[in-house]
Amino acid sequence: MSEGISQPDAPVQAEGNATDLFSKFDSLIQQREALLANGVEDPFSLVMEKVLSPTRAVCNGRDTILLGTYNYMGMTFDPDVIAAGKQALDDFGSGTTGSRVLNGTYGGHRDCEQALREFYDMDHAMVFSTGYQANLGIISTVAGKGDYVVLDIDSHASIYDGCALGNAEIVAFRHNDIDSLDKRLGRIPEGAGKLVVLEGVYSMLGDVAPLKDMIAVCKKHGAMVLVDEAHSMGFIGPNGRGVAEEQGVIDDVDFIIGTFSKSVGTVGGFCVSNHPKFEILRLVCRPYVFTASLPPSVVATAATSIRKLMQGTEKRAHLWENSKRLHGGLKALGFQLGTEEPQSAIVAVIMPDLERGAAMWEALLKEGLYVNLARPPATPANMTLLRCSLCAEHTAEEVETILGMFERAGKAVGII
């Protein structure tokens, strides 16, 4: 063996332990390895091999009831929705290959915005390629340098990222705390622009915001109000317009943000507004301009689904029944839940720690039930949650089956 081969050019470093830009992820890598070393199925790499309906799929080889998809209104297999998508694929092709402001606005995009204006009874609608981008774009563009964005501390990542992308001053208030919001708005310097960002339903615990009182406080201080209704569209409010409609304050909301990837059943995001100058945002909003528009099939399915949701009164009533039964049943079994009463189609089951949360998640999967495992830092107060989101297509019998699965899994893991 020559000396040249046994003497490397660079200093010797044990493989895998080298310090580089990835070193900051080491603690997370170790936490994951420790969790998986117990033999638990990886909660973050589940594969659905076959999707049978809005509520059933074959997951990791097992026939599974889906209880963590946000497919609240079960529109993903609606025959009219599917037909509209197929027709658009045939007529307009698989993609637009362009920005909304250049070659990426087809008739279907305009029609989808028209469907949103009808659904919300508002003057303007702007469709983004994802819900994430809708928050990113509107918040970063509307609030500029010297302005203030005031947000709930438990806001979704897309809201925080919208703040990070913009140049405004960011001020957080305690979750759903009207007094905390009032105080912070009162301390903002005279003359500064103010945007308050709220959510109708907070997706981690499934709790609803006291929008009526909060929006009154915002108006008292002359602030504009943005409400993210991602988890309430289609379901909450007499016309499914969300929590602001349910609480009778939708006319005082300046911007509603929403998504197509929950009740609407496809992908995409939007903002609706009555602001007279709203249309200028199409030219100045970077996450709208500098990305390709949604494929024609997606906007066609979205428009069809949105118009059908306007007639969804019976489905909404059944979804409420499902939510109430699951919430009441889990509570009676002795599980600790995110809210005292059911407030939305999300029922969050609080786990004692990540290890038992992951064990419970796996036990449920083996029973044939999929729920979302949510863990810090995405969760409030460092909680580990099993988040259940119900669908209007879950039958009453399925909800009973689900409760039986929770009972067996909870006893096996020792949580109840």
Partner 1 sequence: MDRTDVDERIRTLIEPSNKKGVDIGDGTSFAGDLEFDSLTVMDFVAAIEDEFDIIISMNQQAEIETYGQLVDAVCRLQND
Task: Give residues in contact with partner 1 (CB under 8 A).
Answer: 148, 153, 163, 169-172, 174, 180, 183-184, 187-189, 377, 381-382
**Least distance from C-beta 170 to partner 1, angstroms?**
4
**CB of 296 closer than 8 Å to CB of 106:** yes
Rank residues 55 and 135 by Cβ distance to partner 1 and give the closer one: 135
Q: What angle (nearest 5°) sits at the alpha carbon of residue 57, between those of residues 55 and 58?
A: 160
For every residue of 55-107, DSSP letters joined together read TEEEETTEEEEE-BS--TT--TT-HHHHHHHHHHHHHH-S---SBTTTT---H
**Least distance from C-beta 315 to partner 1, angstroms?**
38
For every residue of 318-355, DSSP letters joined together read HHHHHHHHHHHHHHHHT--BSSSS--SSEEEEEESSHH
Rank residues 26 and 121 by Cβ distance to partner 1 and give the closer one: 26
Rank residues 185 and 330 by Cβ distance to partner 1 and give the closer one: 185
**Least distance from C-beta 148 to partner 1, angstroms?**
8
Rank residues 77 and 160 by Cβ distance to partner 1 and give the closer one: 160
**Least distance from C-beta 182 to partner 1, angstroms?**
12
**CB of 228 closer than 8 Å to CB of 199:** yes
Rank residues 142 and 369 by Cβ distance to partner 1 and give the closer one: 142
**Least distance from C-beta 51 to partner 1, angstroms?**
37
Round to whole Å and give the CA distance between 248 and 136. Answer: 27
Q: Give the position of tokens 């993903």.
A: 76
Q: Helix (H, G, I), strand (E, B), or coil: what is residue 160?
A: helix
Rank residues 169 and 213 by Cβ distance to partner 1 and give the closer one: 169
Rg over CA atoms, the chain:
23
**Least distance from C-beta 221 to partner 1, angstroms?**
13
Task: Residue 48: name the closest of 64, 27, 36 by CA.
Answer: 64
